[in-house]
Amino acid sequence: MKTILFRQHGGPEVLEYADFPTPEPKPGEALIRLRAAALNRMDVMVRNGWAGLKLELPHIPGADGAGEVAALGSPLLKGEGSGVRSGDRVVINPNLGCGQCEFCLAGKDNLCLDWHLLGETVRGTYAEFVALPIKQLYKLPNDFDFHQAAAAALVYQTAWHSLVTRGQVREGETVLIVGAGGGVNTASVQVAKYLGARVIVVGSNAKKLELAESIGADALVDRSKEEDWSKAVFLATNKRGVDAVVDNVGTTFMLSLRALRKGGRLLTVGNSGSPKFEIDNRYIFAKHLSILGSTMSTRAEFKEVMDLIVAGKLQPVMDKTYPLKDAALAQERLWKNENFGKITLDIQ
Ligand SMILES: [Zn+2]
């Protein structure tokens, strides 16, 4: 099969458009003929490599993908008849639980004791085929676009688990989202609006903020014009502060803590800035703040949010599509934050 793979860590130049053996589905697995893959910043972080990352090279990046079931592993496992069949259109849940630990048995795959993310430590979706357990698949309606489905899978479950389950965001609350263009941020704007919250977005420039407004943001703060954007947020809430902040940057935590009201919640699912930074903990105890981390979602939440996607209640924001062979260009666009919403790869 055709893939994008790398044999060593490094910049975009290590990505090769190359042949790789098509995987064989094991019992309980399906072989999926991918038609679209979507990019996440994690793809680039894995390509760059970090201390302690262990993966088998060559590695195929990509967490998100959608396509058709090409074959099922044999023999079929008990109860598989109710699952997918050859030819079904599916989107992948990249959140790989072991299926056996106490958390997986309780349906909390994202707390799995032997947790993996597709494309991070397991070969992923920048390829014509991938083999995965059938439980990772969500069946798509016949008319639903593969690119939109692939674009939705990782970021919407992430935003949903963070805002709904961890953050307990309620109707009438004010939610601040730090960053306008990233996939999780655009999904978070939509999920927060869906929950009935007022949404403030802090963005790097006027164009991205305009786009944030077009998908539902109620108030905008241009950080290129503000020395301390937490003050602007404070003023935008009549000096009350926001109920919750979605901050996946990391290095902006101090500003986010300042922008929160007393008793507010800081939600985070990533570190697009840097993983290490200083916090003044007086803000946390004196303001009764909570910092809530999470990653991905439970299996039930993935289904819940994908049901809303296919019903059109939440609509993935699509940036640009590249042919599979141009994955390096696509990753450059993402890494330089030139995108607004999701970048996808077209797999012919
Ligand atoms: Zn597990």
Which pLDDT belongs to residue 285?
Answer: 98
Same domain, 204 and 263: yes
Same domain, 249 and 129: no
Q: pLDDT digit string (tens) for 253-300?
A: 999 999 999 999 999 999 888 889 999 999 999 999 999 999 999 999
What length does the chain have? 348
Q: pLDDT digit string (tens) for 156-195?
A: 999 999 999 999 999 999 999 999 888 999 999 999 999 9
Query: How many folded domains does the chain comprise?
Result: 2
For the segment 11-31, the average pLDDT, to the nearest whole number, is 97
Q: pLDDT digit string (tens) for 111-131?
A: 999 999 999 999 999 999 999
CA of 191 to the centre of ligand 1 (A): 27
Same domain, 134 and 163: no
Residue 17 sits in a domain of what CATH number?
Answer: 3.90.180.10
Same domain, 114 and 165: no
Confidence band, pLDDT 50/70/90 cuts, at residue 240 = very high
Same domain, 136 and 163: no
Residue 245 structure tokens: 């902040």
Which pLDDT belongs to residue 26?
Answer: 94
Q: Is the pLDDT of residue 206 over 60?
A: yes
The residue among 293, 179, 301, 192 whose CA lies nearest residue 243 is 192
| Position 145 in a domain | no
CA of 117 to the centre of ligand 1 (A): 12
The residue among 166, 153, 125 whose CA lies nearest residue 269 is 166
CA of 110 to the centre of ligand 1 (A): 8
Q: For the whole model, what pTM was predicted?
A: 0.95
Which pLDDT belongs to residue 279?
Answer: 94
Same domain, 23 and 109: yes
Which pLDDT belongs to residue 79?
Answer: 59
Which pLDDT belongs to residue 74?
Answer: 84
Q: Report the mean per-residue pLDDT for the chain.
A: 95
Q: Residue 257's domain spans which residues?
A: 157-293
CA of 95 to the centre of ligand 1 (A): 11
Which pLDDT belongs to residue 181?
Answer: 86
CA of 106 to the centre of ligand 1 (A): 9
**Amino acid found at 149:** A
Distance of alpha carbon 256 from alpha carbon 250, whole angstroms = 9
Same domain, 330 and 270: no
Residue that has been written with the tokens 């977005």 in this structure: 201
% of the chain residues with pLDDT over 70 = 98
Find out whether the peptide bond into 75 is cis, omega within 30 degrees of 0.
Answer: yes
CA of 96 to the centre of ligand 1 (A): 8
Which pLDDT belongs to residue 275?
Answer: 85
Which pLDDT belongs to residue 78?
Answer: 65
Same domain, 129 and 65: yes
Q: pLDDT digit string (tens) for 75-112?
A: 776 655 557 899 999 999 999 999 999 999 999 999 99
CA of 111 to the centre of ligand 1 (A): 7
Q: Which residues surround ligand 1, an ion (CB under 5 A)?
A: 97-98, 101, 104, 112
Same domain, 118 and 236: no
Which pLDDT belongs to residue 56?
Answer: 95
From residue 248, give the alpha-carbon distance in Å to each of 110, 264, 337: 18, 16, 14
